[in-house]
Amino acid sequence: MNADDMKLMERLVKVAEGAFDGHLSILKFTTNWRVSFETPSRREDIDAMAVGVTFKEAALTLLNRIQFANPIR
Protein backbone atom coordinates (compact mmCIF):
# COMPACT_ATOMS: atom_id res chain seq x y z
CA MET A 1 0.00 0.00 0.00
CA ASN A 2 1.20 3.47 -0.79
CA ALA A 3 0.60 6.73 1.07
CA ASP A 4 -2.67 7.43 -0.80
CA ASP A 5 -3.97 3.97 0.09
CA MET A 6 -3.09 4.54 3.74
CA LYS A 7 -5.03 7.83 3.75
CA LEU A 8 -8.02 6.03 2.24
CA MET A 9 -7.71 3.31 4.88
CA GLU A 10 -7.74 5.94 7.64
CA ARG A 11 -10.81 7.56 6.07
CA LEU A 12 -12.60 4.20 5.84
CA VAL A 13 -11.84 3.46 9.49
CA LYS A 14 -13.17 6.88 10.59
CA VAL A 15 -16.39 6.38 8.64
CA ALA A 16 -16.74 2.83 9.96
CA GLU A 17 -16.29 3.96 13.55
CA GLY A 18 -18.59 6.95 13.17
CA ALA A 19 -21.47 5.48 11.21
CA PHE A 20 -21.21 1.68 11.05
CA ASP A 21 -20.40 0.60 14.61
CA GLY A 22 -16.79 0.06 13.55
CA HIS A 23 -17.56 -2.55 10.90
CA LEU A 24 -15.18 -2.57 7.94
CA SER A 25 -14.41 -5.54 5.71
CA ILE A 26 -11.64 -5.52 3.12
CA LEU A 27 -11.11 -8.54 0.90
CA LYS A 28 -8.29 -9.10 -1.59
CA PHE A 29 -8.84 -11.67 -4.31
CA THR A 30 -6.61 -12.68 -7.20
CA THR A 31 -8.22 -10.22 -9.59
CA ASN A 32 -9.87 -7.55 -7.42
CA TRP A 33 -10.49 -5.92 -4.06
CA ARG A 34 -13.83 -5.69 -2.24
CA VAL A 35 -14.70 -3.27 0.57
CA SER A 36 -17.79 -2.94 2.77
CA PHE A 37 -19.02 -1.48 6.03
CA GLU A 38 -20.70 -4.80 6.78
CA THR A 39 -19.42 -8.23 7.72
CA PRO A 40 -20.15 -10.60 4.84
CA SER A 41 -21.62 -13.95 5.82
CA ARG A 42 -22.88 -15.20 2.45
CA ARG A 43 -21.61 -15.13 -1.11
CA GLU A 44 -24.35 -12.61 -1.91
CA ASP A 45 -22.90 -10.25 0.70
CA ILE A 46 -19.50 -10.45 -0.99
CA ASP A 47 -21.09 -9.83 -4.38
CA ALA A 48 -22.74 -6.67 -3.00
CA MET A 49 -19.46 -5.19 -1.74
CA ALA A 50 -17.80 -2.29 -3.55
CA VAL A 51 -15.32 -3.76 -6.01
CA GLY A 52 -12.23 -2.46 -7.77
CA VAL A 53 -9.15 -3.71 -9.54
CA THR A 54 -7.15 -1.78 -6.92
CA PHE A 55 -7.76 -1.06 -3.24
CA LYS A 56 -8.12 2.63 -4.12
CA GLU A 57 -10.80 1.95 -6.71
CA ALA A 58 -12.83 -0.26 -4.34
CA ALA A 59 -12.47 2.16 -1.42
CA LEU A 60 -13.51 5.19 -3.46
CA THR A 61 -16.47 3.29 -4.88
CA LEU A 62 -17.66 2.50 -1.35
CA LEU A 63 -17.14 6.05 -0.11
CA ASN A 64 -19.04 7.41 -3.12
CA ARG A 65 -21.90 4.98 -2.44
CA ILE A 66 -22.39 6.21 1.10
CA GLN A 67 -21.97 9.85 0.10
CA PHE A 68 -24.82 9.55 -2.39
CA ALA A 69 -26.91 7.45 -0.03
CA ASN A 70 -26.55 10.05 2.75
CA PRO A 71 -25.92 13.42 1.10
CA ILE A 72 -24.57 16.13 3.35
CA ARG A 73 -26.83 19.16 3.37
Q: Tens of pLDDT along 39-71?
A: 999 999 999 999 999 999 999 999 999 876 665
Phi, psi of 30 (to 5 degrees): -60, -40
Q: What percent of the chain has pLDDT over 90?
A: 88
